[in-house]
Every structure is written in structure tokens, then in C-alpha cells.
Chains A and B, each alone.
Chain A
Amino acid sequence: MSNDPHDLLAAYALDALADDERERFERHLSECADCTEQLALLREPVAALAYAAEGPVPPEELRDRIVEGARAEPRAAVIKLPRRNWALGTAATVAAAAACLAIGLGIWANSLSNSLDRERSARAAIDQLLAENATAKPLIGANGSLIVARSGRAALVVCGLAEAPSAKTYEAWVITGKSPESAGLFRGGSGCSPHVLTQRVPENATVAVTLERAEGADSPTLPILFRAEAT
């Protein structure tokens, strides 16, 4: 039997791999553009199978539970600033990144002021963060900073981070000694973009970022690409 990872494509698309096989295959997937393309082709018939499953009607309250569950999450959006090469020097990074956050958010808020207030929860989260006497810590291993408000609400501002490869995503983690907690996913890309973390960042915590499969992971996959200390 061959060990060619390519013949795991169908099993992966059908979620028919055991956890360790799945993990190994995803590592391969992140480096195999051809696989990603082939996988996209298999995803369609697989998703079609969902429609053939036709079961009972979900209980009515499930919708509310989902929307309320989302509302209860301390997460806001991945907010994209206009793409722009900021050409930031490392020395200026922290201050500039903090400024970039504030400026970007100001504009972002303005651009929404006339529109539907759909994004109000994300905006509120950011406003709150900025109003809370936030401090900026430099990122170690990347350009940008970690902005932490007194309450522990926090955002990562990352500048000039290469866009995550297809089928991959950056995932932030809050590490306080025990098991790291996932704090949100983002894709990177040129320019600076703020990512509001979905977890609070207590004092002395480390915020670390890893590269994970597109859906995110339950625990971080080493190596840590960059981090910041919230001391």
C-alpha cells in the first residue's frame, strides 16, 4: 500500500481520517497547491451529500441559541485596514502600529457611520478597547504590537505579515501557563491590520501566533511564529 499522501484526499474530504492521519495530511496540504485544488473539486460532491441526508426540522430555538452564542463571544471581527505598504521601520513599529490601529479604526468607524449599524458590536468592542487606557507591547518575531486594555481585552496589530498559504490560517493563542486558548483566526497580508482577540489577555500572559489549518486548531501547532508578552 502506498504512503502517498495524495490518495488520502477523498478520505480527508469525507472526514474519514483518524485524528493523527488528518493532522499529517493537513501538514502536507499546506505545502501542496495541487492537493488544494483537487480537494476543492472533491469538496463539492461531498457537500452535496449533506443535502441527501434530509432529516427532521431543527427546533426553532436553535437559531436564537446560535445568534446569542455568537453575541456572547468576546470576539469582534477581523478588521481589515485598507491594504497599504506602511514601510515601517522596526524602531517606530510599536508607536506607529498603535497609531495605525487608532487611525484605521477611526476611518473604519466613519465609513460605517452612514451605513447600517450591522457592525456595531465589533465597533463597540474596539471603541471600548481604545477607551480603556490600552498599552502596546512589541511583537517578538514580527512587526506590530499587542494592544491590551486594562480589562484584558486585546487586539493584535500585525504589519507586513505574509498572507497565510491557502488551506491555512494564522491563529492567535493566549497562554497563561496551562493550555493555550485560541484567541481568533486571521489571514495576514500586506499593510497593518488589527485583530481583536476573542480571549481576554491577563497580566503576564503570552500571546502567540501559529499557522494552522484553515478551520483553526484546538491546540497550537509549533512553531510559534511570533509572540508578545503582556507584562
Chain B
Amino acid sequence: MSAAAQSPIAISVVGLGAPWSERRMSPAVPQRSDEELVEAVARADEDALGELYDRFGRVAYGLAFKILRDASLAEDAVQEAFLQAWRGAGAYQRDRAKAGTWLLTFVHRRAVDLVRREERRRTVPADSAPEPSGPGSDETVVARSRGEVVRSALSRLPDEQREAIELAYYGGLTQSELAERLGQPLGTIKSRMFTGLQRLRVLLAEAGYESA
């Protein structure tokens, strides 16, 4: 490789080395942003993966549990989703999605795939009260107040829109199953989901909700 190292190519690369090494060595900030963590995960940074888990593991597990209603399946879903994020972080683009949104997409997809496989979704998801948890970390407190804002926004949706969204998202039903279950044409179901999500977005914005 020494011959190659003296080639023009090598020199040009050396010249380009500075800006990004500078960026990398910038003084340690107290806390990396979620997006920075995903980018670090793309560089095989295991600590960053652990830190992402510290921030989103609780929400991820809560979501998976609500869909699967089984602790060990929920653990599987969360673990697989985080490993999927570990493998796929190289493709993450921060201008496309917040890191949390990106990560929770994996979790939800995994949980829904599992619940469909397990055929556990035949009953309507219970409006179960969240199980009490011990004294929470700051992240937990943040997640909880987020949850309250979202629940309140959801409760302000027209019933039929909320129902379609909840059955799809927490129940893992496909749109065709929804149409059947609710006795409505598929087109109606599609528009309930679409309009409901749009309205939810507006309601969340009005409530000052910022996605993570």
C-alpha cells in the first residue's frame, strides 16, 4: 500500500481529511441529539445504541406491549426493531424524519408483523389504563406528558376517525380487515384514517406538541 499512499489519489484524500475529523473531534457536548445518536449508530457506536434505548426503549416497549399484549413478544419486537435500526442506521436521513419517529416506525412495524403472525389481534385493543410505573427518569416524565398531550388530542377526534386509527395502529388490523370489522366500504376507511391523521397533526400542533 505504500506505493498507493504516494499517489495523487492519496494526497487528495489526505487534503480532504481535515474538515470531517474536525467535526468529529468537536468538543464534547453535554448530550448528543437523537439524530446524532442515530448517526453514531451508523458508525457502529454501541454506546449510542444504548443511549437511544435509554431515550426510546420505554415508549417502544409500551407501544409493543399495547399491540402484542404479551411481555415476551413485546421484548422480541423491541429488540428486533433496535437491531434493525443498528443495521439500517446508515440509511437514516435526518432531513426526512426525526430520529424518534424513524425508530418508532421500526418498532411499530415489527410489533404489527408479529401480532399478525400470532393472530393475537382478534380482540379490540383494550383501553387499558397504563400500568403504574416506579419513579421515572426524566425521559419517562417527558414521555408521560407527551402521552397525555397525545391522548387528549386523540380524544378530540371524531369517534369514527379515532376508531379507525386506533384499530389500525394499536390493533394491527389491515385496512381491509377494518372495512370488514366496521362494515364500511374500504374507501370510507381510507378517508377516515387520512382525515383523522391530518386532524391529529393539527391538534397536536395546536397543543404545542413537538415530535421526537
Residues of chain A having any CB pair with chain B under 8 Å: 1-2, 7-11, 13-18, 21, 36, 40-59, 62-63, 65-67, 69-71, 73, 75-79, 81-82, 84, 86, 96, 99-100, 102-104, 106-107, 110-112, 114-116, 118-119, 121-122, 125, 164, 166-167, 169, 182, 184-187, 195, 198, 214-216
Contact = CB atoms under 8 A, between A and B. Distances in A.
**Considering the complex of A and B, which 10 residue pairs feature the smallest CB-CB distances, nearest first?**
A78-B90, A111-B21, A55-B62, A58-B61, A99-B4, A55-B65, A122-B44, A82-B16, A16-B168, A10-B194
A126 B138 CA distance: 38
Given A54-B144, A73-B83, A104 B13 contact: yes
A50 B108 contact: yes
B44 A76 contact: yes
B187 A215 contact: no
What size tier do the contact residues of chain B reach? 35 or more
B90 to A, nearest CB: 3
B194 A50 contact: no
Contact of A115 (B19, B24, B186): B24
A163 to B, nearest CB: 10
Given A1-B185, A18-B176, A103-B4, A73 B87 contact: yes
Interface string B191-208: 101101110110010000
A103 B198 CA distance: 50
Interface of B: 1, 4-5, 7, 9-10, 12-14, 16-17, 19-21, 24-25, 28, 40, 42-50, 53-54, 57-67, 71, 74-75, 78-79, 82-84, 86-91, 93, 96-98, 100-101, 104-109, 112, 130-131, 133-134, 143-144, 146-147, 150-151, 153-154, 165, 168-170, 172-176, 178, 185-187, 190-191, 193-194, 196-198, 200-201, 204, 209, 211-212
Contact of A46 (B49, B153, B169): B169
Given A53-B67, A99-B7, 4 more contacts: A7-B187, A51-B150, A53-B170, A71-B46
B59 A51 contact: yes
Contact of B211 (A44, A119, A185, A187): A44
Contacts, number: 290
28 contacts: A8-B175, A15-B112, A45-B200, A45-B201, A46-B101, A46-B108, A48-B153, A51-B146, A51-B150, A53-B62, A53-B66, A53-B170, A54-B62, A55-B63, A55-B66, A56-B133, A58-B60, A58-B78, A75-B44, A76-B44, A77-B42, A81-B13, A99-B1, A103-B13, A119-B45, A122-B44, A185-B91, A215-B109
